[in-house]
Amino acid sequence: MSESKLNLVASTLTNSLGTTIIGHVASENVVITVKYANNDVDTTTSDKSGSFVIKVPTENTDSEVTLSATLPDRSEKEEIALAIDQPAPVITAVISTQNGQRLLEGRVNQADVAISVHFVGDEHVISLPVDNGLEFELVLPDEVLPSQIEVHATNQQTGKTGRTVVGLGVTSKTVAMPALTDEMIAEYVHNEEVKHEAKLAASQQATNEMKTDETADNATSVAATSEETVADKKSVENVQAETESATVEKNDDVTTESRVARRKHGGIRGFFARLFGRKG
């Protein structure tokens, strides 16, 4: 690379979407400026490899622009002229229905374009104005089919023309949507938060009711278990009391029988003892 040369080279690339300037210089951070005939200016800088890209506005129809490259310290500057070939305008068009009325709605991608609608088999041509949003509209008779409509767009400065055919079945229903304001968005967010909090509160209440029911069931179960335990304890005590009573009665019977037996045996032993001279 020569220190006194920026080696500015550039070319244009044109397609249906517009024209782009593609170029290269000897180093990065070089200031690239495009000046149009109406004195509008676009500026960019070269990247690390020295390349740059500039999109030419679609409304610019200049036949030639001036492209310059300047070092950041302005010590070096180079200029070249480039011819700009704007593409033909691009049109989109559809059939829509609004409030029971059929409409042809379309849009172009360039300013200062004349729109004309042609009906197949009819020499009559309808010219339509294009608004600031580059859109156009036409009320259609009910008997006209989409395949019978052809739309032409001609750039008034370049003379280039584009066209499109509205195909069969390309229909839509347009619904007017209100513009959302900050107040509307805030109100929507607030309502959603209220709904969310209400759902959480309902869920928490249901959970608490379930816990209350479980606690009541547990208390009832514990009470029933306690009653059964008391009843079982009383039953055991009754059985023990009956057993002890029976045992006492049996012991009393045994004791009574033992005493009788002893008296009987004692009486016999005493009789024989006295009979045979023995002491009892």
Bridge partner residues of 54 (DSSP)? 21
**Residues 89, 16 contacting (CB under 8 angstroms):** no
45/276 Cα distance (integer angstroms): 157
The total of other beta-carbon atoms located within 10 Å of residue 113's CB is 24
Predicted confidence (pLDDT) at residue 39 exceeds the cutoff of 80: yes
Q: Quick: pLDDT tens for 170-211.
A: 444 444 445 556 677 777 778 888 888 888 888 888 788 777
Per-residue burial over 258-267, b if 16 or more Cβ lie within 10 Å, else e, is eeeeeeeeee
Ordered strands of the 149-155 beta sheet:
125-128, 113-119, 149-155, 161-165
Mean pLDDT of 158-180: 63
User: With a threshold of 0.75, does the pTM exceed it?
Assistant: no
Our CA angle for 128, 129, 135, nearest 5°, is: 100
For CA atoms 209, 215, 219, 221, give the dihedral sign. Answer: positive
- Segment among 19-23, 46-50, 59-63 with least mean pLDDT: 59-63
108/88 Cα distance (integer angstroms): 10
Ordered strands of the 18-24 beta sheet:
9-15, 18-24, 51-56
Which CATH code, of 3.40.50.300, 2.40.110.20, 2.60.40.1870, 2.60.120.10, is assigned to 91-173? 2.60.40.1870
How high is the mean pLDDT of the chain?
A: 76
156/149 Cα distance (integer angstroms): 22
How many CA atoms does the CB half-sphere of 168 hold within 13 Å? 1
Task: Name the percent of the chain lying above pLDDT 90.
Answer: 28
The two tokens of residue 185 are: 């968005």
Predicted confidence (pLDDT) at residue 258 exceeds the cutoff of 70: no
Q: Quick: pLDDT tens for 96-106.
A: 888 888 889 99
Mean pLDDT of 102-128: 89
Predicted confidence (pLDDT) at residue 13 exceeds the cutoff of 60: yes
Residues sharing a CB contact under 8 Å with residue 84, sequence separation 6 or more, in sequence order: 12, 19, 56, 60, 61, 62, 63, 64, 65
The reported pLDDT for the residue numbered 117 is 93
**Residues 174, 149 contacting (CB under 8 angstroms):** no
Mean pLDDT of 225-251: 57
What does CATH list as the number for 9-83?
2.60.40.10
